[in-house]
Every structure is written in C-alpha cells, then in structure tokens.
Structure 1
Amino acid sequence: MNVLHRRAVVADLHNDLLCAVVARPVDRWAGFFRERWLPQLRAGGVNLQVLPVFVEDPYRPEGALRRTLRMIEAAHRLAAGNKDAVALCADGAEIDRALAVGRIALVLALESAPGVGEDVELLETLFRLGVRIASLAHFGRTALADGSGEDGTGGRLTRAGVAALAEMERLGMLLDVSHLGAAGVEHVLELASRPVLATHSAARALFDHHRNLTDEQIRGVAGGGGVVCVNFFAPYLHENDYTVDRLVDHIEHIVGVAGVEHVGLGPDFIKEVLADTTPPCCERTLVEGVPADAYLPGLTGPAGLPLVTEALQRRGWRDDDIVAVLGGNVLRLFHAGLGRPAAV
C-alpha cells in the first residue's frame, strides 16, 4: 500500500454495505461482514467508515421504520461480532479510541430518513441507537423535503423538515445535504447554525447532474464549517470518460471553490452491494436511468482507495493536503460536532 495512504486517516463517508449485510440471515451478519467487507476495508486503508441506513423503495412508506431499525441492529451486531476489528462510535472521542487500537471506526447515518416521516421526535430515539448523521430526502419527495430528482418543484424543507434540522442540531446529529433538492440545500444553508456536510456529492460545474452540487452550494457548506465529500459514481463525474483522473478533476474543483480543508471522500461503492441485493435478470440495473455497472476502473470497492492517493500525488499535491482530504477534514468535523449537543 502507498506509504502516505497508510499513514493517513482514511474516511469513507458513504458505503451501502449494510444493505448487503441485512440480505443475509441474521446469524450471518457479523461473519459475512468479516469475510466479505473487512478485508476490503483493510486493503483500502479505511480507518473511518460511515454506514448509511438506506431503505429501498419496496419498504416505503409502511415498512420503512422497521427496515431502518433492522439495519441499525445489523450494524450493532456486526460491530459486536468483530470487536477486535471495528467499533461503532458515537462521537469524536470514541473514534479516537478506536483508531488508537487499530480498529475501524464505524458511524451510523440515515439516508433520507423515511422511517421518521413527520414524527421528528423519533430522531432522538434513533440518536440513542447510535445514529449520528442524517439526510432529509433521496431522489424523490419525503415528509421532510424534496430530493434532487424533484428539483423542478422548487421545494424547500417542509415544516417537519425545518423541525428535523433544529432537532438534529440540538442532539448533535450532523445534517447531510447529499441528495437534497437545490432549493432544499439553499434552505438548509439559510437555517443551519451548526456545520453540515455532503457525504457523497460531486461538482455540478464539471458535470451538470442534479445529484451534484453547484459552486454556490459548495461555498455555503464550506462557509458554515462543513465538508463536501466527493462521490466516485462514474455517471455523475463525466458523460463517458470514466477514469480516476475525472474523479480528481472534481476533487480539485471543489478544493478550488471550498478550500482544501473542506473536502473529503464519499465513494458510494455500490457494485458489490447491487450484485448482492439485486436478483439476476435480463435487464441492466439502472440508477436514475443510468446503468449501475458503469464504474471507475480500479475503484469499484474500498480496496481501490490508494489509487486516489496516487493520483493526487501525480498531480503534485502536497502530502498534508492529501492527508486532509483522505480523512483529516472529516475527523476534524466529527470531533467538533458529532454527538455533541448544542450549547443551551
């Protein structure tokens, strides 16, 4: 492994591996993680892994809360079954303790929070269960906000969405603007009194896709002390040139807009997750109309992460700046706000 990459704290802000874990029998959750995912995380040098709780469409809305709780339970069980290798962490101090003994720090995040709906008080329940990051929407509309796929509506946060943001800030749960519609991002940046982050978003200035952030949005996240973590999903980076260089173009653009201290990595490795959770059939799996088997060569899973470090080195980046983007910036944000209630 690259020497600098090994020295850095590497933080991956979005890997849907929990979806693959819960597809196994309950008694296999911990073992499946150890056999299938732990070697990949180790090979990629991952020290800090955010685990999204993503509820697939068939579970929405009726089964969303049950599915949410089951995925959270899976995270707790895989952590309990692999105590020598990972630790589920609630704040910066717990992350530090995990890293100090060579464990991978795991942090739970809600992606879209369909299990909450308008019952914003459930955020405190989920906080007690270890959730420390949440977004308000996916591609479509929720009780809290419109996702980026609904940008044509101009929808901002709903009344419940505004209450959810306030509750998250009170608890010490970070708000994630990835997937949020453009007007919703603007609304969040108007209201937020604490830093927010984007767990997996690329630059719209380089590729005009609704899942990407505009320069103004990027500046807004950075201006509030947050971090924009760059998505690796190839169809959001370029029309057809699916290469590591195009990924680095997005990283460098966001650094130029936000400053190097406000950029991180949010790979969104879905190839293996889709293979594990989608039944084989005669049609290609699509994500928002884009074939989901379009990936960056070498970056289809965590083991490829050292390629990013090497690409940044080839571009002439300073070591300290590479280390910051690989995970130092996210670690700083987590120390400052993760699990830390707002001052009264």
Structure 2
Amino acid sequence: MTDLHRDAVVADAHNDLLMLVARRPKEKWVGYFRDRWIPQLREGGIDVQVLPVFIDHEFRPEGALRETLRMIEAAHRIAEGNADQVTLCTTGAELDATVAAGRIALVLALEGCAQIDVDLELLQTMQRLGVRMASFTHFGRSALGDGSGEDATGSRLTKAGVEAVGLLEDLDVLVDISHVGRAGVEHILELATKPVVASHSSAFGLHEHHRNLTDEQLRGVAATGGVVCVNFFAGFLTADKPTVDHLADHIEYAVQVAGEDHVGLGSDFVQEVFDEKIPACDRPLIIEGLDAAVMVPGLEGPAGMPLVTDALQRRGMPEATLRKVLGGNLMQLLRR
C-alpha cells in the first residue's frame, strides 16, 4: 500500500457483503463480520463502505420487506458489536468523526426497492432506520421503473417512481441511478433538484454494455452535483481478458467526461457472494450474457483496493485528483 493510499480517504459506494452477513445465524453476525470483513477492509485501506441492501429473487415478492429488515438489523448489530472498528453513520458529522477516529464508516443503501413496491411511505421508514441511498430497480422491471436489462422498452419512470424521486430528495436520501434503464436515467436527471449518485456504473463510451453510462449521462450526473462511482466488475469493463488497467481506463474516462469532482469508486465486489450462494449445478453463472466468475485479477475483494491507486499513480493522475476519486468526492456528496 502506497503512502498516498494510506493517507487518502478511500470510499467504496457498493459492496454486497451484507448479503453474506445476513445468511448466517444472528448469533454469528458480529463475529463473522469482525473475522472475515474487517481485515479485508483494513487491508484495502477503506475508510467508508456503503452497504447495499439487495433482496435476492428467493425472497421476492412476499419476503422482500422481511429480509430487508433482517439485513438492516444485521448492519446495526455488526456496527454495535464492533464499535471499536466501525460506525454506522447517518449524518455528515458522524461520517467525519468516524473517519477522523480511524474507524470505518458504514452507510446503508437500498438496491432495487423490491421491498417498497408502490408503498412509498416505506421509504421514510427506511430513512428512519438509517438508509441514506436508494436505487429504483435491478436489471429487470420494478414498480418504480425499468432496469437497464429492459432498455428495449424505452420506458421512463412510473408514476410511483416520479413521486419517489421527490420524496427521497425531501428525506435527504441520495437517488442512485445505477441499474436504472437508459430512459429512466434521463427521466431522473430531468426531475432531480439535488445531486444524484451512480453507486456502481462504468463508461459506455469504453465498453458498450447496457449497465454502463453514456457520456451524456455522465455529464448529466455531474450537472446535478453528483458522483459517478466506477464499477470494478470485469464484464462491464471490457470484452477482453480484464486487468486493473481496464478499470483505470474507465476511471480516467469518467474524469475526462464528468470532471474530477464527480467521479468515485463503486467496487461491486461479488466473488464471495457468488462463491457462497451459487451451487455447482448452476455454474457457470451467466448474468446478462456475462460469466460472473470472471474478475479483474487482484480485485476480487476489498483487500485489493490499493491496486487501483497504484494503477492511477503510474498513469500520472495528479494527487489532488486521485484523492477526490478515491473518496473525497463521495465523502463530500454524503456530507451534503
């Protein structure tokens, strides 16, 4: 780990580790997180970790809200049981104090809103429980809008989705455009009066996958004052054998298009999730035409995060810009 990486604030806008915590008996949540994930986060130099609440298909629709509450409870318990190492933060002041004290700041997010459906009052419930970021869908269709896997429909947000944008802004919960279809992203950007975030999205201009953002969308997020957090998942970066340089390409591209004040990191580390949840009979796991087993070497988990800094330093990215990308921009957005 370089001195710069160690000294900089490093923030990751998307790691699904909470799914693995909640799979265990509640008595093991605290110890599992302490033994398995805190060492990886520390080795990676990560100061701020956003924890998405993603509800897998096995819980939808009937069990979505119940599993959401279990995962949120798990997040609170792992923070309370490891208070010397982490803090679950709900305000900018808590975020700054946690990082200054050398603890890891955890921030709760919703990925997909399967637990909300059209009952938008539950967004306020989620905010009361600590959620500070929310995306509207996953690859498919939800009650709020279509995911990028439904781009052929050309659909924008539903009526409930339009209302959700305004409600989340009122609640000071970040609207997350990652996974939303192209027309839906454009709709959100038209409606937004506050900054939005893309928690884990890469650049369509470098790799034409529907999960990636076009140049117009990158500039649109920046125009709101928001941040695009670049996804590390290999299939969204390149059709070739992936390397950390492909990721660095996407980061540099996003900086060039959106500006250095509007780019961050959204790792989407999923190898451990897939290794644990996907049985051998379902392998290889193909998601949206991509082999989910293919990862960027060295970036299978948070311990590899210093490789990103190394790659960008080798390319000559100015230190001030690099500090913003590593975490400064996302920290500023969360404070606001």
Query: What TM-score do you get using the length of structure 2 for normalisation?
Result: 0.99
Whole-angstrom CA distance in 2 between matches of 1:141 and 1:161 = 12
CA contact (8 A) 1:120 1:164 kept: yes
Whole-angstrom CA distance in 2 between matches of 1:276 and 1:12 = 22
The alpha carbon displacement at 1:58 in A equals: 1.4
Amino acid across the alignment from 1:140: G
Whole-angstrom CA distance in 2 between matches of 1:73 and 1:285 = 30
Whole-angstrom CA distance in 1 between matches of 2:53 and 2:286 = 20
**Residues 305-324 of structure 1 correspond to what in structure 2 (within 5 A)?**
305-324=305-324
**Structure 1 counterpart of 2:190:** 190
Whole-angstrom CA distance in 2 between matches of 1:155 and 1:136 = 14
Deviations 1:93-134 (A, max 9, x none): 110111121110000000011000000010000100000000
209-218 or 60-69, larger mean C-alpha shift: 60-69
Unaligned runs of 5+ in 1: 337-344
Whole-angstrom CA distance in 2 between matches of 1:233 and 1:319 = 25
Query: Any idea what SS the aligned residue of 1:281 has?
Result: helix
**Structure 2 counterpart of 1:117:** 117
Deviations 1:195-233 (A, max 9, x none): 001000000010000000000000000011000000000
The alpha carbon displacement at 1:242 in A equals: 0.2
The alpha carbon displacement at 1:286 in A equals: 2.3
Whole-angstrom CA distance in 1 between matches of 2:36 and 2:53 = 19
| 2:290 pairs with 1:290 | yes
**Structure 1 counterpart of 2:206:** 206
Query: Any idea what SS the aligned residue of 1:134 has?
Result: strand
Amino acid across the alignment from 1:266: G
Whole-angstrom CA distance in 2 between matches of 1:79 and 1:286 = 34
Amino acid across the alignment from 1:87: T
Amino acid across the alignment from 1:202: S
Unaligned runs of 5+ in 2: none
Amino acid across the alignment from 1:303: A
**Structure 2 counterpart of 1:231:** 231
CA contact (8 A) 1:23 1:277 kept: no
The alpha carbon displacement at 1:36 in A equals: 0.5
| 2:187 pairs with 1:155 | no
Whole-angstrom CA distance in 2 between matches of 1:296 and 1:273 = 16
Amino acid across the alignment from 1:99: V
The alpha carbon displacement at 1:282 in A equals: 6.1
Distance 1:118 1:280, change over 3 A: same
Whole-angstrom CA distance in 1 between matches of 2:187 and 2:311 = 36
Amino acid across the alignment from 1:73: E
Whole-angstrom CA distance in 1 between matches of 2:43 and 2:100 = 19
- Equivalent residue pairs, number: 336
**Structure 1 counterpart of 2:275:** 275
**Structure 2 counterpart of 1:86:** 86
The alpha carbon displacement at 1:320 in A equals: 1.0
The alpha carbon displacement at 1:310 in A equals: 0.6
Query: Any idea what SS the aligned residue of 2:47 has?
Result: strand
RMSD of Structure 2 on Structure 1 (CA): 0.8
CA contact (8 A) 1:19 1:277 kept: no
Whole-angstrom CA distance in 2 between matches of 1:32 and 1:297 = 25
| 2:42 pairs with 1:31 | no
The alpha carbon displacement at 1:249 in A equals: 0.6
Deviations 1:34-53 (A, max 9, x none): 01010000000000000000
Query: Any idea what SS the aligned residue of 1:184 has?
Result: helix
**Residues 1-344 of structure 1 correspond to what in structure 2 (within 5 A)?**
1-281=1-281, 283-336=283-336
Whole-angstrom CA distance in 1 between matches of 2:218 and 2:185 = 10
Deviations 1:239-278 (A, max 9, x none): 0230011111101111110111100000100001211222
